[in-house]
Amino acid sequence: MNESKIEGERRTLPALAAALALGFLHQLLFYGLLPGLSVPLFVLLLYAYFRMFGRETIRPPDQAGLLLSAAVVLLALTYALFDNPIFFVLNLLALPALIAWHLTYIMGDRRRSWHDLRLIPDAFGHVLKQTVLHVPDAFAWARPRANRAGDSEDDSSLRQVMYGLAFAVPLLGIVLVLLLSADGVLRTMAGRIPVWFGNLPLGDGGGRLLWTCAAGLFLFTYLAGFRSPKRRLPVQGPWMADPVEPAARFRPLPMVTLLISLNLVYVLFVAFQFSYLFGAWQGVLPESSSYAEYTRSGFGELIGVTLINFGVLLIGMYATLRGEGRQRRLLDALHLLLIFCSVAMLGSAFSRLLLYEEAYGYTRLRFLVHAFMIFLFAVLLLFALCIRLRRIALGRLLVVLGVCAYLAVNYACMDRVIARLNLDRQHTAEAAADLGYLMGLSSDAVPVLIERGKQEGGELDRLLREKAKNEASLKVPWPSWNVSEWRSRERLSQYVN
């Protein structure tokens, strides 16, 4: 047995023990509890585990890796800083995906670039395939093997004792949980040994133990997939000698024809839209149209057309031969005209939504649609920049823009903005705010509501006092602690006292 393999076996048991300890902490932080401060805390412990036991596979620090680390930390902190139920759910998917992407980039054996789309199947492969293939590694330390030269009999005996203890500890844990659950007196006595043990619900001890083992086993096998990935060797044969053919490209003339046809329709449509757009801002709507009908009609269709234009732009820019001379300049000009028309249609949809909000108020869905349209506008500007400077890597910038935009929306305090805009609207537009909807917003909106409640009193004051009474008796476990909720309870307490 070579030295590297021996060293790997020696490191297996500590890595497995640390993974099980991390799994135990995971169930303490999340079992039956809402995520809060526990999320950034566990993410830091997770990275410390991978840094400690997988350091030989981690690539040297670079700018992309550090920026991805910052994105992971910022996204994890949203659970401790804000209280938005929409991003609470979305980030349950976004945060693990970002962590898997980051870990695959810094630890993957294939050393992909951060913007390489093949990182996506690599990340899935490590989460799914590699973890399953490395499950036997968690029990490899228990397999008997012949004594190496220099091993003493005492050392072998000690190893056998350690094997026995390793099997006895989890078995004793299961037995003790069952016994303590069956006998109330024993459970009471055991609860007095350490004080915190009495707060641990022993009735669900089996579930907690299973959670700990499953989380620990997953973390260990996930790490093992980076340390020693198991891959099938590529098949060698004559067919591999042939070079891969370049991606098929369209000729310029059909694309020019398509763009001219689309742009002609779009220019006429945009010109027609502008006559109504600016008229609507002055209160002049199309005949027999209300605000609701005007703003709803065609909104989804305009967004859909904009998304279709993205596909046309991608095909025209990256799947079509550019041609030479006039042909190239004409193709670029048509692309720019298509972008201009897309921006105009996006502006029309944006203005329709503004009109609708002025008439009917602001909601989470309308806020997110606004954010999505601003993102599409930024993407269109990026397309225009890439037409003029073809050397710019569009894919990389789209990834950066997407991650930055998602983080920006998370940190925009959506509910606070919605509450402020709706309360301001009832003064400027003389329209009553839907206080029932505003009180149903998250804790992020409470400071704004308290500020207005002090100024206006009335129904808002009554609802705030009722909310303070309902939340006064709530006790939040420390893993679920959240800055926004804590600040909301403190301000509500000060408001009523």
Query: pLDDT of 188-235, one tens digit each?
Result: 555 555 444 445 444 466 778 888 989 999 999 999 999 989 876 544
Is residue 399 domain-resident? yes
> Domain for residue 149, yes or no?
no
What tens digit of pLDDT does each residue of 74-88 get?
999 999 999 999 999
Residue at token pair 């641990």: 200
Q: Do 389 and 455 sit in the same domain of this protein?
A: no
Provide the pLDDT for residue 148: 45
pLDDT of 1 strictly over 50: no
Mean pLDDT of the residues in the chain: 79
Which pLDDT does position 20 carry in this prediction?
92
Would 172 be classed as within a structural domain? yes
Predicted local confidence at residue 169, as pLDDT: 61
Please, which residues bridge with residue 320 across strands? Answer: 250
pLDDT at 30 over 50: yes
Task: Indicate if 309 and 407 belong to the same structural domain.
Answer: yes
Q: Which of 383, 412, 441 is the last residue of a domain?
A: 412
pLDDT of res. 157? 55
> What count of other Cβ atoms lies within 10 Å of the Cβ of residue 441?
22
Number of H helices, E strands in the chain: 20, 0
- Do 308 and 440 lie in a common domain? no
Quickly list DSSP for 371-415: HHHHHHHHHHHHHHHHHH-TTS-HHHHHHHHHHHHHHHHHTT-HH
Q: Does some domain include residue 148?
A: no
Q: Do 399 and 489 share a domain, yes or no?
A: no
- pLDDT category of residue 310 using cuts at 50, 70 and 90: confident
If asked whether residues 478 and 454 sit together in one domain, one would say yes
Higher pLDDT, 173 or 485: 485
Dihedral of CA 122/127/133/137: which sign?
A: positive
With vertex at residue 316, the alpha carbon angle to CA 310 and CA 320, rounded to the nearest 5 degrees, is 150
Whether residues 75 and 217 fall in one domain: yes
Between 160 and 379, name the one with better pLDDT. 379
C-alpha 180 chain-centroid distance = 40
Question: Is residue 378 in some structural domain?
Answer: yes
Each residue's pLDDT tens digit, 457-494: 788 888 888 888 888 777 888 888 999 999 998 888 88
- The count of domains in the chain is 3
% of the chain surpassing 90 pLDDT: 32
Residues 20 and 165 in one domain: yes
The answer to whether 75 and 249 are in contact (CB under 8 A) is no
- pLDDT band at residue 290, thresholds of 50, 70 and 90? low
Which residues in 43-56 are b (16+ Cβ under 10 Å) and which e?
A: beebbebbeebbee
Asked if residue 171 has pLDDT above 90, the reply is: no
Using alpha carbons only, what angle is made at residue 221 by residues 141 and 70, rounded to the nearest 5 degrees? Answer: 135
- Note the pLDDT of residue 346: 86
Q: How far apart are CA 59 and CA 49, in angstroms?
A: 16
Residues 211 and 285 in one domain: no
Of the residues 412, 429, 457, the one at which a domain ends:
412
Distances (CA, A) of 10 to 32, 53, 77: 36, 12, 36
Query: Percent of the chain, pLDDT > 70?
Result: 74
In DSSP terms, which residues pair with 250 in a beta bridge?
A: 320
Whether residues 344 and 382 share a domain: the answer is yes
Cβ atoms < 10 Å from Cβ of 5: 9
**Torsion of Cα atoms, 238 then 241 then 243 then 244, to 10°:** 50
**Same domain assignment for residues 36 and 77:** yes
pLDDT tier at 314 (50, 70, 90 boundaries)?
confident
In a domain, 151, yes or no: no
Closest C-alpha among 397, 396, 447, 391 to residue 419: 447
Q: Is residue 247 part of a domain?
A: no
- Asked if 424 and 291 sit in the same domain, the reply is no
The answer to pTM > 0.85 is: no
- Write phi, then psi, for 394 (nearest 5 degrees): -65, -45
User: Tens digits of per-residue pLDDT, 116-138?
Assistant: 888 999 999 999 889 988 888 88
334 and 192 within one domain: no
Q: Tell me, yes or no, whether 315 lies in a domain.
A: yes
Of 373, 389, 412, which residue is a domain's last?
Answer: 412
Residue 497 has pLDDT above 50, yes or no: yes
Domain containing 492 equals: 415-496
Q: What is the DSSP track for 299-315? A: HHHHHHHHHHHHHHHHH
Under a CB-based contact definition with an 8 Å cutoff, are residues 481 and 77 in contact? Answer: no
Sequence-distant (≥ 6) Cβ neighbours of residue 116 within 8 angstroms: none
